[in-house]
Structure 1
Amino acid sequence: MNFDQTSQSEVNNSQSVNLTNENFVQEVIEKSKSIPVIVDFWAPWCEPCKQIAPILDKLVASSNGRVVLTKMNIDEHPEISQQLQIQSIPAILGFHNGQPVDGFVGVQPESAIKAFVEKLADLNGPSDNDMALEQGRTLFSEKNYNEALEIFGKIAQSEPDNITALSMLANCYLKLNEIDIAKEIISNIESPDKDKNQDYVSAKSQIDILEKSEDSNIDEEEIKNLEKELEEKPDNHQLRYDVAIGFMSKGNYEQAMSHLLFIIEKDRMWNDEAPRKSLLEIFNALGPTDDLAIEGRKKLSSILFS
């Protein structure tokens, strides 16, 4: 989209403050002593400035008041930029406690600008949502899933792109056996960083396990029948694997892991390493800090490297 000077003015919405030589000290230096302040140095003729402006506006707005955005037209007010030795625009500076603490020049990927804004916001200490996330995690670990769900839902409403809040919301619905809702939440997370988020990986892995079990059509009664048959044929890996998949589908990961580890110990390459791959799905579903996952990883390592 092309912006003229009027468009740039429209971008300077209620989330930002237009700076002048007269108000710079008050709006930047003094204000940054209580909240981080971003200064966007721009000019009407600067095309890259017009590209970066709406990105800054959006990201600062999503910080929920933890960062203030200000903008200075260097054509109208050149003195400040000269004092700061700004030689190229767009130039973005972050101020904290009256001093510039971070910044960049030129157009950057949105992910880099987001990291810049978040870094400044973190100078305030934990946000309300950060503290709420920890409260929600505590409730989740105590199996108070309905209360945790309410907290994660509120965070997701205020931060629609918060991968952790959305993923934990899905994890709550999975624990409450609301599988379709969990699937919808996870499928709607579009961030390219989602696979780096352990809470997302956990929810997605649980859903994958459930979908795999749906394909196998194993119910509780059939699991019992398979276990009886397994007692008579303990070396039948396919039978044992079917039992493990059945336990996985019911969320009984401890029993499933026991059977999968047994097969791996007997024949680690069986069925193109299907037991090991299923075991890794369980580890992902549980997360790296879960005691059962930690113990399972130790046992798997002991088998593989013995």
Structure 2
Amino acid sequence: MPAAALRGAVDLSTLRNRPAAPAAAAPSSENAPSLVFDVTDASFPQVLELSRTVPVVVDLWAEWCGPCKQLSPILEKVVTELGGRLVLAKVDVDANPQLSQAFRAQSIPMVVALLGGQPVPLFTGAVPEQQVREVFAQLLQLAAQNGVTGSVPVESGQVEATEPEEAPLPPHHAEAYEAIEAGDYSRAVSAYEAALAENPRDADARAGLAQVRLLARVQDLDSSAVRAAAAADTADLDAQFAVADLDVSGGHVEDAFDRLLDVFAASSADDRPAVRERLLDLFGIVGDDDPRVLLARRRLASLLF
């Protein structure tokens, strides 16, 4: 992230002079802000001002976004461990359309930073914890180069208080988590498969397995090449599957479902089982109770019968 990245990434000018929100709605200069907080269209000017003192990481997310739910706890953990050298501002894109538009959030999760009131693109999509740590380390270096070296006071015990104690993970889950952090998705898949072999009703292992398989599939994809291949040959199932994977990992869930349902409708009897299997896999990643999954299931059922 060169220093030049501070200029021209996105246009926040329309939000700079917005009337300030009540103090309770955003961090206040008179009271030390939390390390992690929600921000709205109305409270954003205060966040811009805060970024002149301490780097602000902005997490653009939505309740329906499965990858967002995977990434957000990692962001919160790493920011908390840095002890006030960074803060995390969370933006619900559905509730704050002006911020979503200003940051040009075409896919989520999307993570950017603010330094001295200027945006710095970081990454999109769910990434492993180790990559988050590396990016944040680079961000702190860039902040130092640009004179943004303040920090947020952290009360004694605050870091520990933000991390409630949890029961130890079962051995296979712990192995999978460790492998994901290392970017070793094949080992994580094996660990989750072992957990399911021991307990086929382990819902957490089943969900984790689907998510890790998705991460493994998209890890080395060239988005432009894959989308070009899918556009050139609508009967190329591998290309259609790859684009659907990229769409789900980027938060474009409806696009992924519509694509695969259209492919299913046009497929031969021999190809339909593979398309249905991939749809079911993506349904599990997004969540069976998600309204977009329910809608897609109804359309799939109508195509089947």
Instruction: Identify the TM-score tier after normalising by the shorter chain.
Output: 0.3 to 0.5
Task: Give TM-score, length-normalised by structure 1.
Answer: 0.38
Which entry has the higher C-alpha Rg, 1 or 2? 1
Task: Give TM-score, length-normalised by structure 2.
Answer: 0.38
More helix by share: 1
User: Greater relative contact order: 1 or 2 (C-alpha under 8 angstroms, separation 6 or more)?
Assistant: 2
